[in-house]
């Protein structure tokens, strides 16, 4: 008897799910990607459809690139050039790479070299192109109780942990968080102390928390420059070699799912490393400050 009841309710759920799914597939004509990849030899014009077909690039990127405003400049250019639409999903680097692994996006734009290499080695990507870099900085209260100012990153962190000063970590597997862990690894390793706080949030909220708590924090300088007027925190450590922050674009392996638009993702990579776009990146400024340094202009050697 009870078994019958359960199977009944389950049937109901399944039926509802299926019917709803089918209904939706029928009425949302806005996801052309799977038709296209299924018939990529035929041109889009031959597919008879009411709405003009537009291909879609699903791009997972980091909140720092979105919040810098750079993509607001670059993406419309790309959309215009290739008559396509870019759906940007902004998450942390770790999450972006996971979306790539799952095949839920066509390309990822991230900043964590070792995780990127792991992604490529795992066969999740078919192309990896360094694009640009900026740098991380360590910010903290103006009083600087740990005397971190002017040191290199490792020494500054050593000072912070020695005095058990308050430090806010992203704690979210983002590129910035991965870098922080790498920096700890290079000194004696991370033993969490009482005032080591993990926000679990993006760079913006983490900076706000650090500011409110008068804590030290590791941040990319793009987000910092964009928001620093709002903070009482000051920049303490900058420009050290161990704080270089390289960004790269990765094309997701189309074998993961038939719908992955590797063709458009490849075009997007070509676009990002083209001379014209590299110059756009070079000239992108906020409050008169350059945010990113292109890696692919000839005077600068890519890593």
Partner 1 sequence: MIREGILEALQLLLHLDASVIDAASRSLWISIVAVVTATVVGITIGLLLARKRFPGRSLLILLFRVGMSVPTVLIGLLCYGLLSRRGTLGELELLYTPTAIILGEFFLALPIVATLTHGAIARLDPVAFETARTLGAGTLQRAVTYLREAKLAILLALLTAFSRCFTELGIAMMVGGNITGRTRTLTTATAMETARGEFASGVAMSLILLSISMLVTLAIALLSRETVEPAS
Interface residues toward partner 1, by CB under 8 A: 1, 4-6, 8-9, 12, 16-17, 20-21, 24-25, 28, 30-31, 33-34, 58, 63, 67, 87-90, 102-104, 201-202, 204-205, 207-208, 227, 230, 256-257, 259-260
Which residue bears the tokens 């008879």?
48
Nearest distance, CB of residue 24 and partner 1, angstroms: 5
Rounded Cα–Cα distance for residues 120 and 127 (Å) = 8
Nearest distance, CB of residue 103 and partner 1, angstroms: 4
Rounded Cα–Cα distance for residues 70 and 64 (Å) = 10
Rounded Cα–Cα distance for residues 172 and 41 (Å) = 42
Nearer residue to partner 1 within complex by CB, 77 or 87: 87
Nearest distance, CB of residue 72 and partner 1, angstroms: 9
104-to-100, 191, 252 alpha-carbon distances in Å: 6, 36, 9
Nearer residue to partner 1 within complex by CB, 89 or 120: 89
Nearer residue to partner 1 within complex by CB, 70 or 90: 90
Nearer residue to partner 1 within complex by CB, 154 or 204: 204
Nearest distance, CB of residue 156 and partner 1, angstroms: 25
Exposed / middle / buried, residue 208 (Cβ in 10 Å: 0-12, 13-18, 19+): middle
Nearer residue to partner 1 within complex by CB, 207 or 262: 207
Rounded Cα–Cα distance for residues 301 and 246 (Å) = 13
Using only the alpha carbons of the chain, give its radius of gyration. 23
Nearest distance, CB of residue 77 and partner 1, angstroms: 15
For residue 145 the two structure tokens come to 């109780």
Supply the DSSP string of 114-149, one letter for each residue: HHHHHHHHTT-EEEEEEEEEEEEEEEE-TT-TT--T
215-to-6, 143, 164, 168 alpha-carbon distances in Å: 53, 11, 11, 6
Nearer residue to partner 1 within complex by CB, 58 or 113: 58
Nearest distance, CB of residue 151 and partner 1, angstroms: 28
Nearest distance, CB of residue 125 and partner 1, angstroms: 15
First to last CA, the chain: 67
Nearest distance, CB of residue 149 and partner 1, angstroms: 24
Nearer residue to partner 1 within complex by CB, 9 or 301: 9
Nearer residue to partner 1 within complex by CB, 1 or 143: 1
Rounded Cα–Cα distance for residues 221 and 136 (Å) = 5
Rounded Cα–Cα distance for residues 192 and 288 (Å) = 38
For residue 18 the two structure tokens come to 């299926």
CB contact at 8 A, 238 and 137: yes
């Amino acid at each position: 008897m009870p078994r019958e009841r359960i199977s009944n309710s389950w049937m109901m759920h399944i039926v509802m799910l299926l019917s709803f799914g089918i209904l939706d597939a029928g009425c949302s004509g806005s996801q052309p990607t799977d038709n296209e990849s299924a018939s990529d030899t035929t041109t889009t014009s031959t597919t008879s459809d009411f709405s003009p077909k537009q291909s879609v690039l699903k791009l997972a990127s980091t909140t720092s690139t979105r919040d810098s405003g750079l993509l607001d400049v670059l993406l419309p250019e790309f959309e215009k050039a290739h008559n396509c639409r870019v759906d940007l999903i902004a998450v942390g680097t770790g999450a972006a790479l996971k979306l790539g692994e799952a095949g839920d996006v066509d390309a990822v734009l991230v900043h964590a070299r070792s995780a990127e290499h792991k992604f490529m080695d795992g066969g999740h990507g078919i192309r990896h192109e360094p694009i640009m870099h900026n740098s991380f900085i360590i910010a903290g209260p103006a009083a600087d109780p740990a005397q971190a100012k002017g040191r290199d990153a490792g020494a500054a962190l050593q000072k912070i942990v020695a005095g058990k000063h308050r430090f806010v970590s992203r704690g979210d597997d983002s590129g910035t968080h991965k870098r922080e862990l790498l920096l700890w690894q290079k000194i004696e390793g991370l033993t969490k102390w009482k005032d080591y706080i993990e926000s679990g949030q993006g760079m913006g909220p983490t900076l706000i928390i650090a500011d409110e708590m008068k804590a030290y924090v590791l941040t990319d300088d793009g987000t910092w420059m964009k928001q620093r007027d709002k903070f009482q925190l000051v920049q303490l450590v900058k420009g050290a070699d161990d704080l270089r922050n390289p960004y790269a674009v990765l094309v997701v392996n189309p074998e993961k799912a038939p719908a992955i638009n590797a063709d458009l993702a490849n075009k997007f990579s070509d676009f990002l490393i083209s001379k014209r776009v590299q110059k756009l990146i070079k000239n992108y400024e906020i409050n008169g400050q350059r945010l990113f340094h292109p890696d692919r202009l000839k005077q600068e050697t890519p890593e």
